[in-house]
Amino acid sequence: MSFADLKRKSQTNFDFLQKELEKSSSNKNVDERFWKPEVDASGNGYAVIRFLPAPEGETLPWAKLYSHAFQGPGGWYIENSRTTLDRNEKDPVGEVNRRLWNSGNEGDKDVVRRQKRKLSYYANIYVVKDPTNPQNEGGVFLYKFGKKIFDKLMEAMQPEFEDESPINPFDFWQGANFKLKIVKKDGYWNYDKSEFDKVSPVLDDDDALEALWKKQYSLAAVTAADQFKSYDDLQKRLKYVLGQRPPARRVDEEVSDEDNSRGSFQPNFESRKAEETVTAAVASASSEEDDALSYFQKLANE
């Protein structure tokens, strides 16, 4: 290319670079294993999914993870809680929160509420209908959800009224599709109208079901040991975030508010760069995790 051609094509080259930047930005931190519902301009969303059985070689069809996501003078603290591994496992945030809760000061309790554990569940799903992204239909994905949806799963297995028959929502043959209905309420996503459909097989072909089963992702990996930093590393990070250490630049400290789904925080099984979706993570966990205060109350009484 001559210098004259370079000058003549300068705008074309710039347009090309802009498109490449948009492409790379749109794919930033997107884990293709995960499915996430979307809402329209009014905040409403609809999809039909099917919860799948436990993956091959595993026992439970879901994984449960506790994490912390809050901001202090030194930046953001976005880490998985070691209490996920065992309720009696030591975690520095839990220890700080226990001391604050036991102080009897309401201001300290407000801090605990901001720093409380966030509860998330993970399961494999089959996407039956996704009007916003129809290319997802027929695919197997990991799905992260909160206590509200988990409660609906438990209610399906253990119905409250005697005229309701229990079902196993994770069963290929005797389970049921889940109609996910999202309504924006008080600025947040509300799942109260979501419900299970009638009992039916996912597919009528056992060979096709077996193929789906083999496509599922490991749930044990969500709470594997490599997803948790050591107590000492967490304590160092916590002291820095709380302003008790000289600031030290961290590569993964920058955060971005990439969406308003209030549920995009998820473990990265390779690099653990979870902080990049912190804003959505904090909102999601706060709206759907309601057992933390009782947890700290129990600690206070011990």
Summarize pLDDT for 116-125 with one digit per residue, the tens: 999 999 999 9
Topology of the domain covering 31-302: Replication Fork Single-Stranded DNA Binding Protein (3.90.198)
What is the phi/psi pair of residue 27, to 5°?
A: -95, 5
Predicted local confidence at residue 278, as pLDDT: 41
CB within 8 Å of 242: residues ≥ 6 apart: 72, 73, 74, 96
| Structural contact between residues 175 and 51, judged by C-beta atoms closer than 8 angstroms | yes
Handedness of CA 152, 154, 160, 163 (dihedral sign): positive
Structure tokens at 49: 């999914």
pLDDT score for 263: 40
Cα distances (Å, whole numbers) of residue 246 to 69, 112, 232, 242: 21, 24, 17, 11
Residue in the block written with tokens 């880490």: 79
Alpha-carbon gap, residue 53 to 147, rounded angstroms? 19
Q: What local confidence, expressed as pLDDT, does residue 249 receive?
A: 55
Number of H helices, E strands in the chain: 9, 9
C-alpha span between 283 and 269 (Å, rounded): 22
Domain boundary assignment for the chain: 31-302
* Residue 296, H or E segment: helix 292-301
The pLDDT of residue 4 is 75
pLDDT at 29: 66
Q: What is the pLDDT along the chain (302 residues), one digit of tens a residue?
A: 677 776 677 777 777 666 666 655 545 567 899 999 999 988 999 999 999 999 999 999 999 999 999 999 999 999 999 999 998 999 999 999 999 999 989 999 999 999 999 999 999 999 999 999 999 999 999 999 999 999 999 999 999 998 899 999 999 999 999 999 999 988 889 999 999 999 999 999 999 999 999 999 999 999 999 999 999 999 999 999 999 865 555 555 444 333 333 444 455 544 344 444 444 444 444 444 444 445 444 544 44
Is the Cβ–Cβ distance between 58 and 267 less than 8 Å? Answer: no
pLDDT the model gives residue 145: 97
